[in-house]
Amino acid sequence: MYESPELSALREVCDEYGLYLYIDGARLGYALESEICDMKMKDIAAFADAFYIGGTKNGLLFGEALVINNPLLSPDFRYHIKQRGGLLAKGFLLGIQFRAIFEDGLYFELARQANRMAARLSSCLIDAGVNMLAEPVSNQVFLYVKEEALHRLKKRILFEVWNREEEAGTPIRFVTSWQTTNEDIEAVLECIRE
């Protein structure tokens, strides 16, 4: 996750070399609602020539919203979408979802929920003596698991092996979402305790 000074520096380099600055926003809501984030959506828009707002990873049925700030990127963009098979016949359905999720701050509340659950999971893991790979800053929790425990966990919990085994164990990643509950966290913790 970038902080404001880092994005500002990237913007300067892009301007100096005539490059576009594009920000992948698949997890944008989670990043913006992180306790360490010093930016809002308007700040992202000020830095980026284009960015997208993740929908499916933040509770929408389908789709992402591309925001183009640089007018040089706009000509024929709709044609390029159609040419590559990405233009929906009923595209208004995508827009309706985004309108609904941004009304009353729901997009950001769902992101905060996921971040709270990740913080709770991480805190409980640390209290249980689990070796963490990194402190969570959004909805992702990285920890080390010993090889013998890894195979048992795979049978009961969905997670991603993040990297190859290291001295501390195999790094894995849990990702909480807008629908993660306290009961889900308890189920994961029970498996890990066992």
pLDDT of residue 2: 83
**pLDDT above 80 (res 90):** no
Give me the domain span that covers residue 145. 113-193
Residues 76 and 126 in one domain: no
Q: Mean pLDDT throughout 31-53?
A: 94
Residues 101 and 143 in one domain: no
Residues 68 and 8 in one domain: yes
- Residue 122's domain is classified under what CATH number? 3.90.1150.10
- Residue 91's domain is classified under what CATH number? 3.40.640.10
Q: Mean pLDDT throughout 118-139?
A: 92
Residue type, 104: D
Residues 58 and 125 in one domain: no
Q: Mean pLDDT throughout 6-26?
A: 96
Strands of 170-175's sheet, edge to edge? 140-145, 170-175, 160-161
pLDDT of residue 166: 73
**pLDDT above 90 (res 84):** no
**pLDDT above 90 (res 89):** no
**pLDDT above 90 (res 164):** no
Last residue of a domain, one of 81, 106, 131: 106
Residues 9 and 65 in one domain: yes
pLDDT of residue 81: 84
